[in-house]
Amino acid sequence: MLLFSYYLLVVLIYILALPILIILSFKQKYKISLPARFFLKSNTPFRNEGIWFHACSLGEVNSLKTVFKELKEENINLSVITGTGYKSAKKVSDLHVRFLPFELFLPFWIKKQKTLVVTEAELWPLLFIVSKLKGTKTVLINARVSDNSYESYKKFAWFYRWIFASIDEVFAQSEVDKSRLEELGAKCVVVNGNIKTFSKPIVTKEYKKPKKKVIVMASSHEGEEQLLLASLNLKKDEMLVVVPRHPERFESVDRLLKEFSQSRDLSYAKLSDDLKTDIVLCDKMGELVNLFAIANVVLLCGSFKDGIGGHNPLEPAFFGCKIVSGKYTFNQKALFSLVENIKVCSVDELKNINFEEVKPSKVLHVGDINTLLNRIR
């Protein structure tokens, strides 16, 4: 009865959202993902039975690449939600990639697989229920319940117990996550760390190390650039590389940096043109890891304004960068606990920080990839 009622609700939501979906499908950002997910355009089911991974976006896809490499003898299917995740996945050889359709279509779209492996919080009910009904083993990996979302999860505990009834095994990031997941009905929960610690990020382009010390403003959100620029006093032996979180903001951040550079009599260029000026805008996707490889200091954004919750500190920590983060890191507590020597401060305190006194970061706990591989093969 619950399944039938839920499916009727999904149908109603789809009908009501149709006008908006049609309009958004013409926008550049969604012109591939929305038609594929909500109208099944060029989005046929996986043809071959194998290990089916589902990841939401770019970060989750990248974190799975080490797992894909170890499973090279297997037939691997991957579904994603976002366009950036899709583009990244398509670059991986021998990988069958699809957008995950809206739940309305899943009962007809899903074919039997050996194992379904879903990352983190992608708890779509019909994804697990339909897969289980068709004889597929279901696994949730890298699972966590953040402090910020814990109370919300508990309010709808009955709903999550319904979902977890169709999940065979769960790999949690920490003991705290395990306890919370079991409270929500998860069974066969194993603590195996974070899959993002399985291997060091791969550098895809080697930049020549500038003579100046490199400060990377990593994954900045709207409003953060202004706050941090006002608090930074670049020394003559320092350069700043700004990497906006979202590519659609490149143009507006370009204007901001041009104006700021002119007001401070600093040289400025885009990464696609030069990496020698006082201030550089990273105007290309997929370059953050390459910049971490030459960075001295990383200002880890998404944390200097409330509401975002921080970003992953593991990648710069793998390169031993000095990491400075804001105080709003509530979505990344599990990852921050895996890294040593992160300097946490407010925007006002940033003005007084001497980067020479900040210690290089270090990854403390690395997950066991073999435990995961043995259970999903």
Residue 169: Cβ within 10 Å count: 19
360-363 long-range contacts, Cβ below 8 Å, gap at least 24? 360/320, 360/321, 360/322, 361/313, 361/316, 361/317, 361/320, 361/321, 361/322, 361/323, 362/317, 362/320, 363/197, 363/314, 363/317, 363/318, 363/338, 363/339
* CA-atom Rg of the chain in angstroms: 22
pLDDT higher than threshold 80 for residue 91:
yes
User: What tens digit of pLDDT does each residue of 157-185 get?
Assistant: 999 999 999 999 999 988 889 999 999 99
Dihedral over Cα of 59, 64, 69, 75: its sign: negative
Burial class (CB in 10 A: 0-12, 13-18, 19+), 353: middle
pLDDT higher than threshold 90 for residue 123:
yes
* Strand residues in 178-321 grouped as ranges (E): 189-191, 213-220, 238-244, 268-270, 279-281, 297-300
pLDDT at site 314: 92
pLDDT at site 244: 97
pLDDT at site 333: 81
State the span(s) of the chain assigned CATH 3.40.50.11720: 2-199+369-376
Q: Residue 209: CB partners within 8 Å, gap ≥ 6?
A: 294
> What is the average pLDDT across 234-254?
95
Q: 213-363 has which fold?
A: Rossmann fold (3.40.50)
pLDDT at site 219: 96
Q: Whole-angstrom Cα distance, residue 317 to residue 345?
A: 18
Q: What is the mean pLDDT of the chain?
A: 93
Parallel, antiparallel or unpaired: strands 339-340 and 362-363? antiparallel
Q: Which amino acid is at 18?
A: L
User: What tens digit of pLDDT does each residue of 5-14 get?
Assistant: 999 999 999 9
Q: Whole-angstrom Cα distance, residue 122 to residue 170?
A: 13
* Phi, psi dihedral angles at 158 (to 5 degrees): -60, -35
Q: Whole-angstrom Cα distance, residue 204 to residue 222?
A: 27
Q: Whole-angstrom Cα distance, residue 56 to residue 66?
A: 17
Pick from 71, 53, 55, 68: nearest CA to 136: 53
pLDDT higher than threshold 90 for residue 93:
no
The pLDDT-based confidence of 341 (bands split at 50, 70, 90) is very high
- Report CA-CA distances (Å) from 253 to 47, 225, 226, 256, 265: 43, 8, 9, 5, 18
Q: How many CA atoms lie within 13 Å of 47's alpha carbon, on the beta-carbon side?
A: 2
Q: Which residues pair with 80 in a beta bridge?
A: 99
User: What tens digit of pLDDT does each residue of 62-73 get?
Assistant: 889 889 989 988
Task: Provide, rounded to the nearest whole percent, the portion of the chain with pLDDT above 70.
Answer: 100
| Angle at which helices 2-24 and 125-133 cross, to 10° | 120
pLDDT higher than threshold 80 for residue 235:
yes
Contact 338, 316 (CB under 8 A): no
Three-state secondary structure call for residue 275: coil
pLDDT higher than threshold 90 for residue 147:
no
Please identify, in words, the CATH class of the domain defined by 2-199+369-376: alpha beta
Burial class (CB in 10 A: 0-12, 13-18, 19+), 241: buried
Q: Whole-angstrom Cα distance, residue 279 to residue 253?
A: 12
pTM of the model: 0.73
The alpha carbon of 230 is separated from its chain's Cα centroid by a whole number of angstroms, namely: 28
Q: What angle do CA 143, 145, 147 make, to 5 degrees?
A: 150
pLDDT at site 346: 93
Q: Whole-angstrom Cα distance, residue 213 to residue 216?
A: 10
